Amino acid sequence: MKIDGKTRQDAMRWLLASACVVWMTGMVLAQAPAPKPDAAQPAPPPLSIPDAPEPANAKAWLLMDEATGKVLAGENIDARLEPASITKVMTSYVIAAELKAGRIKPNDKVMMSENAWRTGGAATEGSYSGFEVNKTAALSEMVKGMVVQSGNDAAIALAEHTAGSEAAFATLMNDYAKRIGLKNSHFVNAHGLSAEGHYSTAHDLAILGRVLIRDFPQEYSYNKIREFTVGPITQRNRNLLLWRDESVDGIKTGHHSGAGYCLLSSAKRGDQRLISVVMGARSEEERAVDSLALLNWGFRFYETHRLYQPDIVIATHKVWKGTTDAVKLGVEVPLLVSTPRGRYAELKPLMDVPKTLIAPIKAGQKIGTVRVMLDGKPVIEAPLVAVEGVVEAGFFKRLWHEFLMWWESV
């Protein structure tokens, strides 16, 4: 049978259209979210989560999931209040950062100056460490005197050793506070006694605890020491939760007349860690009871999951004009999510990726966004990046892809 030119042209068009349909079907499949690697086990029906046990007398309070930074419950979380001795967590962070930078050493001899002794020593009404005036102690020991005994004198001595004066050290505190994302905090001393312009918030203190745990786990571990001895004096850690719940391993108490009784606490049960903040309670006992109630509530009704690991391919996407026709997509950092307990299996990941990608693409280049949804609302989102690069193809393949891109746009 003789085939005329028009019939041959129609046949070619049909073949090209079929190829485009097959390719576009592949694109749709490629963009579909990959199965979640940390698949949940079948769970009972979702629980109705009761309200968090609100501290009755606190000025502000908060409960945070440490892995994700998500605030699970709280009230007045951004109200600027006096943090009292929880300030020393910021001092600990600065000391740890300066140690890491090599500007100070664990075995440095730190002088208990007369200023530190008179301002924060045994003769004052505040907590003290007991290091002798005008004598030195190893920096690592002085840090424990500050953390475990809440020694105001030790905090001042460490500030003077690190920055020359407590005022200069406060500048470092504020610089580091900005770096780690504390938006409503300002420090004028290293110990937390009442001073004009010295404030923080429940939210900022939870963030501070979170970054100390993340960045300096060794220094954080000092917070679970129950007692510490300096010379003939042995003092107990003022965090009552260290004796009441084995999962609690920090973080810091605080108290003076202006601040009331405060507690920044953290506990880890299994792979889940929570951070609670209670500011302005009426007594040492009340702040401990309120904090433990918040932690128990959080562990009971929420869970944390790791959705995706870095460098693991979670989706692919079509690439034009490359030596390969698809780019592998993943996340830069572990993608973690906090959900009501029993509802992990209901999460729905969605990929937001540009329709057209053209090589070259570099490894690590941001390509789009992955959003994790629950009940139609975003729970968390993170950038999608290229796990591997895609090199630009040769001239003829680029020319062919140019034609296919034109054909698709017609």
- Active-site positions read 85, 88, 150
Pull the structure tokens for residue 42.
């079948």
Distances (CA, A) of 300 to 24, 138, 172, 266: 46, 42, 39, 15
**How many whole angstroms separate alpha carbon 53 and alpha carbon 293?**
6
The single-letter code of the amino acid at 61 is W
The single-letter code of the amino acid at 293 is A
Q: Are 58 and 264 in contact (CB under 8 A)?
A: no
**How many whole angstroms separate alpha carbon 83 and alpha carbon 187?**
10
Q: Are 340 and 69 in contact (CB under 8 A)?
A: no
**How many whole angstroms separate alpha carbon 186 and alpha carbon 174?**
6
Mutual angle of helices 152-163 and 139-147, in 10-degree steps = 140
Q: What is the dihedral of CA 393, 399, 403, 404, to 10 degrees?
A: -20
368-406 as b/e, with b when 16 or more CB fall inside 10 Å?
bebbbebeeeebbebebbbbebbeebeeebeeebeeeee
36 CB contacts (<8 Å, ≥6 apart)? 307, 308, 347, 349
Instruction: Give me the DSSP letters along 369-397.
Output: EEEEEETTEEEEEEEEEESS-B-B--HHH
Our CA angle for 356, 362, 365, nearest 5°, is: 70
